[in-house]
Amino acid sequence: MEISTKKVISTLGIPRLIIITFMIVLCIMAIFLKLPLNDLLSDTLVRTGMNGVLVLAMVPGILSGIGLNFGLPLGIVCGLVGGLVSIEMDLTGYTAFLVAILVSIPISAIVGALYGYLLNRVKGSEMMVATYVGFSAVSLMCIGWLLMPFKAEEVKWPIGDGLRTTIALTGRYDKVLDHTLSFDIFGVTIPTGLLLFFFLSCFLMALFLKTKTGMAMKAAGDNPRFAIASGINVDKQRIVGTMISTILGAVGIIVYAQSFGFFQLYQAPLMMGFAAVAAILIGGASARRANIIHVILGTFLFQGLLTISLPVANKIITEGNLSEVLRIIVQNGIILYALTKVSSGGD
Amino acid sequence: MEAEKIVFEENKSESMGSNIKKILFDNSVTFIFIILCLGGIYLSKQPVPFIVNELIQRITRNSFLVLSLIIPVLAGMGLNFGIVLGAMAGQIALIAITHFKIGGIAGFVLAALLTIPLALLFGYFTAKLLNKTKGQEMIAGMILGFFANGLYQLLFLFLVGTIIPMDNPTLVLSSGVGIKNTLDLSGPEGTKYALDAIAKIPFIKSTIVFSLAGAGYYIYKFIQSKKDERLMMQRNGFIIRGFLFTVLLIVSFYVSTIKSLVNNITVPLVTILIIGLICVFNVFILKTKAGQDFRSVGQDMNIAKISGIPVDKIRIRAILISTVLAGWGQLIFLQNIGTLNTYGSHEQVGTFAIAALLIGGASVTKATIGQAIIGTALFHTLFLVSPQAGKNLFGNAQIGEYFRVFVAYGVIGVSLGLHAWKQLFDKKNKK
């Protein structure tokens, strides 16, 4: 018995145990405070699916050796462009959703390749450079959103120049995935389509990692010198990893938006990368090691924590937004914890 | 003999040419920003006296914060994003003295004293963390800033009024829990202009005195360099600087004779003296043993360790100094602004100070006082003129505003990228 508990602790790691315990405490508190636990669980599931693909985008980055991809906003911006194009084409439903993804993939692939090329030039400082590349891209796109020649009325401000800060997807593809095949069980709504899409993405990623390219990419990230010795072009594999990460960022934001019901332009994508990074770290990944389980577990735990803590915190202290403060502390605390492990565990 | 002399002269002129090329190349970022700023000033069509006045205010307001970044750079820790924590320490002290209604210069000095223990504590934690994340100091410092911001919000939004008793309707929200979003520092009980208002001197006259002194100093140095072999190398620098000061002298003298609003502009003497003091401190500390230790740790941590320097301790010391200075810098900033944005004033401190330093031509491993001051001036000129320039150029002031945000992030990104690239290049060359 003692051995098995030790094993559980070592596989889960102390940070995860703290988070899981905290979440259980929150659930118990929610019951005592007579909050509708089934609604909270439904929300957790929705938010897991909603953020999942963005978190999945971290995996190729970590495995190919560029580390935690703080430059995720780059992919997000590409996804937003794709989403706007599909509205501009006046599409609705699944067609609109799929067209948005199809449009954003080539854009994000090109951007991702260039970004990967850049990251190869700054080996050792990828995380810092990536953060500021992401920040600059978002602020540059702020100018872009003001100048882009979109005509659709939902996208443009009715008067003046530029695009709206939030673009509602009502009547377009608001919650298309969420509502597909969704059903209720014990009062908990399961967003089947959304979760299926998330798991499908995860499955495709796992499949990709088993292919020759995927193996080469993992080898390049795992031990660059060994990879070179076995004839793998490390720089090329890193570009592949960055590209896939950026593409997943683009797809991720479209999935996020269809569930959220809005596209958020301008400053909104600025900090989204950090949330995704925190989620996969909570799942048990490090700056050099990650797998699909980390993605699923991490997204579920992080989003569950946020969803459940909000009403609980609001019941205890009605003033202010305690849950938001909690998010900031947990999110950045876990990233800091992971960073202290980078130098000691890494090369 | 004659031929030899000619060859010598030729060599010299060649080295002079390549020198200028080198100066241009090394400071390319600064030159690009000078051009951007001049273009912005031209496009914004704002009156020059207005720009000069605003700029003086902004330079005196911000340069202390930028100067607080220098020592960690020299100690090889990169740009200290952890100064956000110093700024928080300053704000906590300021909230405390506002609560006890101690205003004016007394309140300011008390706040500065209160900042020291707080900043030392925060700085110690920062340094401990940065010692654990060697090689990734900057990203760790940045995330630490976000993390500390969470704790700061927890303290002032939820703990004040619940765990920490505070019964002060001017500070606390009407519900009794949490500090208000903005605190007004004006009035007899506030610290607005506590430092700035002590003594104000006319801008143009002080510039004349300043440039006269500067020109005199470099002319003296130039004359000395004829005798002293050691100073020979720096002769060109003396000529250029002396020339610049003379130009400044002539311009300011000319302006003082014409009727211009610039003549009405005043500068806060005490604030400038304090900034000067910190410059002297930075120069002075580098000449002491402690400063030498910073440099040797900055050059190569391993070699420093082998030569018996306690690397971790030196790094902690660098961050402690930087954090305390940042706390004071934030106090100077806030006494000039006059309102404390409780949850926002500190957030961008790191980004803006770092961007300003980099625009001045500093890098991750090299920063000087001159670069800090020039960078602050350029960065804030751009901040000042870009909305209006954007409006005149594109018919939309928002474009200018986003442009300056982009500049702040972009310049940090580019210079970090270039630095990392250079490091990688050097590493490869070594092999």
Each residue's pLDDT tens digit, B141-164: 999 999 999 999 888 888 887 788
For residue B88, what are the CA distances in angstroms to B77, B179, B242, B323, B379? 21, 14, 41, 10, 23
Band of residue B319 on the pLDDT scale cut at 50, 70, 90: very high
For residues B274-285, average pLDDT:
89
Positive/negative CA dihedral, B163, B166, B171, B176: positive
pLDDT reading at B325 higher than 90: yes
Provide the pLDDT for residue B402: 84
Domain ranges (residues) in chain A: 49-269
CA distance B411 to chain A (A): 9
CB-based contacts of A89, cutoff 8 Å, min separation 6? A96, A99
Amino acid in position B372: A
For residues B362-374, average pLDDT:
86
Amino acid in position A177: L
Provide the pLDDT for residue B11: 46
Residue from A132, A141, A156 to probe the interface with B (highest B Cβ count within 10 Å): A132
CA distance A336 to chain B (A): 6
Give B 145-164 residues with CB within 8 A of chain A. 146-147, 149-151, 153-154, 157-158, 162
ipTM: 0.83
Q: Enumerate the residues of chain B whose CB falls inside 8 A of the CB of residue A73.
A: none
Flag whether residue B205 sits within 8 Å of chain A, measured between CB atoms: no
Provide the pLDDT for residue B15: 57
Per-residue pLDDT tens for B74-93? 888 888 888 999 999 999 99
Number of C-beta neighbours around residue B185 at 10 A:
23
Using CA coordinates, name the residue in chain A closest to B416.
A129
pLDDT reading at B115 higher than 90: yes
When CB atoms are compared, the residue of B136, B413, B423 closest to A136 is: B413
When CB atoms are compared, the residue of B149, B154, B416 closest to A129 is: B416
Provide the pLDDT for residue A268: 84
Picking from A71, A90, A73, the residue whose alpha carbon sits closest to that of residue A138 is A73
Q: Which residues of chain A have pLDDT under 70?
A: 1-3, 8-12, 318-320, 343-347
For residues B48-72, average pLDDT:
88
When CB atoms are compared, the residue of B139, B396, B412 closest to A339 is: B139
Flag whether residue B388 sits within 8 Å of chain A, measured between CB atoms: no
Using CA coordinates, name the residue in chain A closest to B408.
A136
Give the whole-angstrom CA distance, residue A286 versus residue B132.
16
When CB atoms are compared, the residue of A131, A320, A344 closest to B178 is: A320
Instruction: Indicate left, alpha or beta for A108 from its phi (over 0: left) and psi (-120 to 50: alpha).
Output: alpha
Amino acid in position A305: L
Do A147 and B399 lie within an 8 Å CB cutoff?
yes
Using CA coordinates, name the residue in chain A closest to B343.
A325
Residues of A with CB under 8 A from a CB of B: 70, 118, 121-125, 127-129, 131-133, 135-136, 139-140, 142-143, 146-147, 161-162, 274, 317, 319-320, 322, 325-326, 328-329, 331-333, 335-336, 339-340, 342-344
Give the whole-angstrom CA distance, residue B370 versus residue B361.
9
Angle subtended at Cα A252 by Cα A249 and Cα A256, rounded to the nearest 5 degrees: 140
CB-based contacts of A77, cutoff 8 Å, min separation 6? A137, A138, A141, A269
Provide the pLDDT for residue B2: 43
pLDDT reading at B4 higher than 50: no
- The interaxial angle of helices A322-345 and A292-316, nearest 10 deg, is 150
Give the whole-angstrom CA distance, residue B249 versus residue B126.
44
When CB atoms are compared, the residue of B140, B406, B417 closest to A339 is: B140
Question: Whole-number mean pLDDT of chain B?
Answer: 82
Q: Enumerate the residues of chain A whose CB falls inside 8 A of the CB of residue B413.
A: 129, 132-133, 135-136
Flag whether residue B393 sits within 8 Å of chain A, measured between CB atoms: no
Amino acid in position B310: P
pLDDT reading at B289 higher than 90: no
Picking from B141, B146, B82, B403, the residue whose alpha carbon sits closest to that of residue A271 is B146
Give the whole-angstrom CA distance, residue A156 versus residue A165.
9
CA distance B6 to chain A (A): 45
Total residues belonging to chain A: 347
As a whole-number percent, the residues of chain B with pLDDT over 70 amount to: 93
CA distance B96 to chain A (A): 22
Residue from B181, B383, B399, B409 to probe the interface with A (highest A Cβ count within 10 Å): B409
Do B396 and A332 lie within an 8 Å CB cutoff?
no
Q: Enumerate the β-bridge partners of residue A185.
A: A188
Q: Enumerate the residues of chain A whose CB falls inside 8 A of the CB of residue B177.
A: 317, 319-320
For residues B94-109, average pLDDT:
86
Do B177 and A332 lie within an 8 Å CB cutoff?
no
| Beta carbons of A336 and B147 less than 8 angstroms apart | yes
Positive/negative CA dihedral, B160, B166, B168, B174: positive
Do A122 and B424 lie within an 8 Å CB cutoff?
yes
Amino acid in position A39: D
Give the whole-angstrom CA distance, residue A138 versus residue A73.
7
For residues B209-215, average pLDDT:
83
Give the whole-angstrom CA distance, residue B153 versus residue A135.
23
Provide the pLDDT for residue B431: 62
Number of C-beta neighbours around residue B142 at 10 A:
24
Provide the pLDDT for residue A325: 85
Per-residue pLDDT tens for B380-429? 888 888 888 878 877 777 787 888 788 888 888 887 887 778 777 777 77
DSSP SS3 for A298: helix
Q: Enumerate the β-bridge partners of residue A166.
A: A264
Do B133 and A335 lie within an 8 Å CB cutoff?
no
Who has greater pLDDT, A73 or B4? A73
Dihedrals phi, psi of A225, to nearest 5 degrees? -65, -45
Give the whole-angstrom CA distance, residue A228 versus residue A212.
16
- Residue A280, both tokens: 């996969």
Provide the pLDDT for residue B17: 62
Do A336 and B129 lie within an 8 Å CB cutoff?
yes
Per-residue pLDDT tens for A137-172? 898 888 888 888 887 777 777 777 778 888 888 877
Do A339 and B136 lie within an 8 Å CB cutoff?
yes
When CB atoms are compared, the residue of B140, B153, B178 closest to A336 is: B140
Do B410 and A320 lie within an 8 Å CB cutoff?
no
Give B 125-144 residues with CB within 8 A of chain A. 129, 132-136, 138-140, 142-144
